[in-house]
Amino acid sequence: MTAIAVQTQLTPEEYLAWERKAPFKNEYLSGQILAMSGASLAHNLITGNIFNGLYNQLMERECITFTGEMRVKARPITSYFYPDVAVVCDEPRFEDDVFDTLLNPTVVVEVLSRSTAAYDKGEKFESYKQIASLQEYILVSQDRVNVERHFRLGTQWRAIEFQELADILSLDSIRCELPLGHIYRRVKFTDTP
């Protein structure tokens, strides 16, 4: 999904009140609102494939899989994001009684676009790292076969990259596996930049 920065001076509380009435999704990073635009066919296919694969593996367990409609809050610099897929395996904790802002994801997945890749790998990842419950951050390219698995190892973050459809993405924190062939099912890549 594409993010467009909009200058604002809203506090986190003002953003949340405004966002809950907004006709479209907006992320919030350190006082700046980022309007989220529509997603491509590849983005939608990949997101659906990942959600489907995780949901099916987790349906008999205590984990809950969310789509991109569930907002996630990060601190200490208050930020709000809409990950493409999020999984929580503890009792879900929410910011308030509206139950639309998750505080304790275990896994977050972002499907990258050319316009958001640097942001998702940079500022957004730095914010996500501050969520104590987060164990794995998955970045999935939509224009080529490429999946990055970032995982917490003690106080450090490590990364593994996958680039073959035969590869299998193991999500150790939730004991799930996703073959890249499943993640990219029906996705057609073009050679144009």
Indicate the pLDDT class of residue 41, thresholds 50, 70 and 90.
very high
| pTM greater than the 0.85 cutoff | yes
Nearest residue to 110 (alpha-carbon basis) of 79, 72, 78? 72
pLDDT for 75 equals 85
Percent of the chain with pLDDT over 70: 94
| CATH no., domain 39-183 | 3.90.1570.10
Mean pLDDT of 23-52: 90
For the cut 90, the answer to whether the pLDDT of residue 37 exceeds it is no
Amino acid 4: pLDDT: 46
How far the first Cα of the chain sits from its last, in Å, is 17
- In terms of C-beta distances under 8 Å and separation of at least 24 residues, what long-range contacts does 26-30 make, across chains too? 27/3, 27/79, 27/80, 27/81, 27/82, 28/78, 28/79, 28/80, 29/79, 29/81, 29/123, 29/124, 29/127, 30/77, 30/78, 30/79
Q: Is the pLDDT of residue 3 over 60?
A: no
